[in-house]
Structure 1
Amino acid sequence: MSTTERPRILVVGGGYVGLYAARRILKKMRYGEATVTVVDPRSYMTYQPFLPEAAAGSISPRHVVVPLRRVLPQAEVLTGRVTHIDQDRKVATVEPIVGESYEVPFDYLVVALGAVSRTFPIPGLAESGIGMKGVEEAIGLRNHVLEQLDMAESTTDPDIRRKALTFVFVGGGFAGAETIGEVEDLARDAAKYYPSVKREDMRFILVDAADKILPEVGPELGKWGLKHLQERGIECYLSTSLDSCINGHVVLKNGLEVDSNTIVWTAGVKPNPVLKEYGLPLGPRGHVDTAATLQVQGTDYIWSAGDNAQVPDLAARAAGVENAWCPPNAQHALRQSKVLGDNVVAEMRGFPQREYRHHNMGAVAGLGLHKGVAMIVLGKLKLKFKGRLAWYFHRGYHGMAVPTFNRKIRVLADWTLGMFLKREVVSLGALESPRDEFYEAAAPVTAAAAAKPGPGKLPPPEPAKVAAEHAAAAPIAPAERAS
């Protein structure tokens, strides 16, 4: 970490808000005006709306992430976690990947930690569940699903086969509906290469505690999305929840019990719990309490936005909705980050802050290849689309929203190739533990074996063993080859 006498703007988190706010600040800032430092445990930002397509193999996982150091060449990027913030001293404690923790002083602070999966104390969930918050989980889910097809094709045990071909998804919002739609597409395509596995042998189950799915696109499109998934053979159980899943034995509140090796958890998000260690004012659900200017309440040098912030929804409040807050989605995070970046620079120069006020553009969701729903808002007009046209809107919006021109081109190339080439259905499960095979081949040396014959001292070889080894290594005579 470099030291500087210039004011330091510390950005905690390199996700949507962290990346876009840092880019905005660097763009608006004069040369040498301040130092921008970004701290995140990962060296990249993940464009989460593309995770379902990455899990289905429609997009390369590398094209879903954006390397922070490449996109922010003028910033200082530290790979680690901010574990504590001392507001009196204006110092943050950074815990790097390796080594001792150290302190980073700051003059202005941006808190953009985002959210983590919202879970409940359900027996077996921690051991059996698969999340969908990171690209690693998307890759893991893809490999896991294909491995289940391999298992079903290779076994003669009907119970093992049935458990392998049962897929349970908990959560019917954007993440859950899009993921089950994409994964069902993947499994349907992959089944063509497994003689004994048909789509009819598979069981896909979607569970949600609400009485509808895809609430973000409205009730009409939500009902269509539900009907569409059911027509594809996906069982949808609404107004119920997961009771337990010990050893893959899934029990729902409505009494349904199934055995499954695949339990995908997408039942919402919650603010990063480390926020409690920062001494910031928090709302009832753990979000950082901010003003409409995105400044943390009671401060003039700390800002927050995105999934970890409780930002007033001025547009909804102007329409008469009391205590309305901006929902945690990518649309708000991208817009808030620009206002946040402008406000940081304005505060640094002594100018007034600008309030965040949004105009809803609508919502789009993909339910697999050539399938989706979309609600486009044009002023007071709401246009609703479903099917292939909605899927085009979904890809068009996110294709433009994914950061950097480099990633836009790579994603477009993936989509274009997908129009002419068949989907890859190979499982690379060994990626999750690449050293296992070498570890087994290297045969760890035990203490007893290491104690003799001693370093640099090899025991004399046995004459009979040497003769046998020489005979095995001797070249084969031509006559012997002919015989």
Structure 2
Amino acid sequence: MPRQRPRIVIIGAGFAGFSAARRLSRLARGAADITLVNPNDYFLYVPLLPEVATGLLEPRRVSVPLASALPEVRLLLGQADTVDLAGRRIGWTDAEDNHREAGYDRLVVAVGSVNKLLPIPGVTEHAHGFRGLPEALYLRDHITRQLDLADIADDPEERTARRTFVVVGAGYTGTEVAAHGALYTGDLSHRHPQAHSDRPPRWLLLDVAERVLPELDVRLSRTAARVLRRRGVEVRLSTSVREATRDGVVLTDGECVPTRTLVWCVGVRPDPLVTDLGLPTEQGRLRVDAYLGVPGHPEVFACGDAAAVPDPARPGRLTAMTAQQAVRQGRTAADNVAASCGHGHRHPYRYRDRGFAVDLGGTQAAADPFGLPLSGPLAMLATRGYHLLSLPGNRARVATDWLLDVLLPRQAVQLGLVRGHAVPLENTSPEIPVTRR
């Protein structure tokens, strides 16, 4: 009898899952059935979300349709919620809440990560995450609305609170949100009559670390901090939120800050499905070997934020949870899955650090491509060039939006696409699967 083609199932279409699916569709073209399970029909280029939240880019620019990018991959539109390792089957819930199952011969776990939650009173009810399109679109509407409401407020204290914005977490995402947000509200405030008598909108960036961008090179940290402070962003280090309420936040140093906006960018944790697998984990991530295989289950592979990948450059440590690492791990996982099916040879995960780029809005950025520290307009050119090369689609549209931003004022209107109750950290959204059951 003819041999049945192997069934390869990939859970998640983030950087790792998308890269794995794309590579496998080329390596095993016509020799395997490749299935991708994801709650959305697009790949989201997360690094450009701050520009969506501040009106520089339209949401479709950072959303690459999976059907066109992966024409030879079957998409199961839904949320994977169970994995039967013994029976080699996964369970998933489709867009209409119907539970379905699918079998596999090879499984790639690339479910990514979700917001990191801390036991701080009021945060889950009043803070908003920044992990997907709903959060970015809501934040754009919310910031615009707060300035509109501040303009008509008779109470000076209410007006101050609505013009105050607090971002918790001075990592990659939080730094970019604060930097772009300060520019955005600066542009908007000039269109409101009350802006001429009030101080500029207030932005606070909080972090318990001792410097901005603590995970990156200190030179990038200094550049980012300098740009933020020049724009009026109050950078509070060794400081966080003790309590959050509807009307403001209490900081760990005792200060009460009246505000209607709390953006949570503290960090991420592996998707809860990793724990549900019942397999050994390390720092909450699924334990894998140098080949990204799961010990004891040669048919299962894991990559990206969900996997505890040994760092080949730092023995005894794990790779960082970054998009750059996820893309490369997805490709390595694809190579080794294909090798396990008789196509090519497997090889351990290796990488070369290409540096990082932080877009600070306007003509400012901080970058160190291949270890060369850059700042200002030159860093911005390097940063945008990197994003255009990394985008798997929509490059011409993104470049056009950037060009129009130089020539024309940004459009600031409320679209009302996402309601406020859909984005608090305590709720589940299509982009942030906080709970599984």
TM-score normalized by the length of structure 2: 0.92
Matched, 1:54 2:52: yes
Deviation at 1:391, TM superposition (A): 1.4
Cα 1:237/1:99, change in 2 over 3 Å: closer
Deviation at 1:177, TM superposition (A): 0.4
Classify the secondary structure of the residue corresponding to 1:142: helix
Deviation at 1:393, TM superposition (A): 1.1
| 1:426 match | 413
| 1:444 match | none
| 1:154 match | 152
Deviation at 1:427, TM superposition (A): 1.9
Classify the secondary structure of the residue corresponding to 2:242: strand
Note the alpha carbon deviations across 1:221-255, whole angstroms, 9 max, x for none: 21232132112211111112111112232011111
Contact 1:15 1:45 in 2 (8 A): yes
Contact 1:91 1:105 in 2 (8 A): yes
**Worse-matched range after superposition: 261-270 or 414-423:** 414-423
Once residues 74 and 224 of structure 1 are traced to their aligned partners in structure 2, the CA distance between those partners, rounded to angstroms, is 44
Match of 2:118 among 104, 107, 120: 120
For structure 1, the 5+ residue unaligned runs are 318-322, 435-483
Once residues 295 and 265 of structure 2 are traced to their aligned partners in structure 1, the CA distance between those partners, rounded to angstroms, is 31
Contact 2:55 2:411 in 1 (8 A): yes
Which 4+ stretches in 1 moved above 4 angstroms? none
Once residues 358 and 432 of structure 1 are traced to their aligned partners in structure 2, the CA distance between those partners, rounded to angstroms, is 39
Matched, 1:401 2:390: yes
Cα 1:30/1:43, change in 2 over 3 Å: closer
Return the letter of the residue paired with 1:273: P
Contact 2:189 2:200 in 1 (8 A): no
**Worse-matched range after superposition: 162-171 or 189-198:** 189-198
Cα 1:356/1:288, change in 2 over 3 Å: same
Contact 1:117 1:268 in 2 (8 A): yes
Classify the secondary structure of the residue corresponding to 1:207: strand
Deviation at 1:5, TM superposition (A): 4.8
Once residues 274 and 11 of structure 2 are traced to their aligned partners in structure 1, the CA distance between those partners, rounded to angstroms, is 11
The within-5 A match list for 1:168-179 is: 168-179=166-177
Once residues 418 and 303 of structure 2 are traced to their aligned partners in structure 1, the CA distance between those partners, rounded to angstroms, is 33
Deviation at 1:201, TM superposition (A): 3.4
Match of 1:414 among 395, 398, 401: 401
**Worse-matched range after superposition: 222-231 or 116-125:** 222-231
The Cα RMSD (Å) is 1.7
**Worse-matched range after superposition: 178-187 or 121-130:** 121-130
| 2:179 match | 181
Deviation at 1:99, TM superposition (A): 4.7
Contact 1:128 1:248 in 2 (8 A): no
Q: Flag the structure with more relative contact order, 1 or 2, with Cα contacts below 8 A and sequence separation at least 6.
A: 2
Match of 1:102 among 93, 100, 104: 100
Once residues 364 and 348 of structure 2 are traced to their aligned partners in structure 1, the CA distance between those partners, rounded to angstroms, is 37
The within-5 A match list for 1:76-475 is: 76-197=74-195, 200-283=199-282, 285-317=283-315, 323-349=316-342, 352-377=345-370, 382-404=371-393, 407-428=394-415, 430-432=416-418
| 2:429 match | none
Once residues 38 and 57 of structure 1 are traced to their aligned partners in structure 2, the CA distance between those partners, rounded to angstroms, is 31
Once residues 254 and 170 of structure 1 are traced to their aligned partners in structure 2, the CA distance between those partners, rounded to angstroms, is 14
Deviation at 1:277, TM superposition (A): 1.4
Note the alpha carbon deviations across 1:254-301, whole angstroms, 9 max, x for none: 111111101000001110012111233211x21011111111222211
Report the structure number with the largest CA radius of gyration.
1
Return the letter of the residue paired with 2:389: M
Classify the secondary structure of the residue corresponding to 2:417: helix
Contact 1:217 1:362 in 2 (8 A): no
Return the letter of the residue paired with 2:401: D
Note the alpha carbon deviations across 1:183-226, whole angstroms, 9 max, x for none: 11111111121121258332110100111111343113212321
Once residues 247 and 73 of structure 2 are traced to their aligned partners in structure 1, the CA distance between those partners, rounded to angstroms, is 46
Contact 2:137 2:417 in 1 (8 A): no
Once residues 350 and 69 of structure 1 are traced to their aligned partners in structure 2, the CA distance between those partners, rounded to angstroms, is 25
Aligned length in residues? 417
Q: Which has the higher helix share?
A: 1
Matched, 1:37 2:24: no
Return the letter of the residue paired with 1:141: L
Once residues 350 and 330 of structure 1 are traced to their aligned partners in structure 2, the CA distance between those partners, rounded to angstroms, is 27
Once residues 418 and 222 of structure 2 are traced to their aligned partners in structure 1, the CA distance between those partners, rounded to angstroms, is 38
Once residues 418 and 99 of structure 1 are traced to their aligned partners in structure 2, the CA distance between those partners, rounded to angstroms, is 41
Contact 2:335 2:345 in 1 (8 A): no
Note the alpha carbon deviations across 1:413-455, whole angstroms, 9 max, x for none: 1111112111111222x22259xxxxxxxxxxxxxxxxxxxxx
Once residues 408 and 162 of structure 1 are traced to their aligned partners in structure 2, the CA distance between those partners, rounded to angstroms, is 40
Classify the secondary structure of the residue corresponding to 2:77: strand
Cα 1:215/1:433, change in 2 over 3 Å: closer
Once residues 98 and 221 of structure 1 are traced to their aligned partners in structure 2, the CA distance between those partners, rounded to angstroms, is 45
TM-score normalized by the length of structure 1: 0.83
Return the letter of the residue paired with 1:420: L
Return the letter of the residue paired with 1:359: R
Note the alpha carbon deviations across 1:15-45, whole angstroms, 9 max, x for none: 11111111110111132x1111111112212
Contact 1:64 1:135 in 2 (8 A): no
| 2:426 match | none
Deviation at 1:338, TM superposition (A): 1.3
Contact 2:186 2:200 in 1 (8 A): no
Deviation at 1:408, TM superposition (A): 1.0
Deviation at 1:66, TM superposition (A): 1.3
Deviation at 1:88, TM superposition (A): 1.1
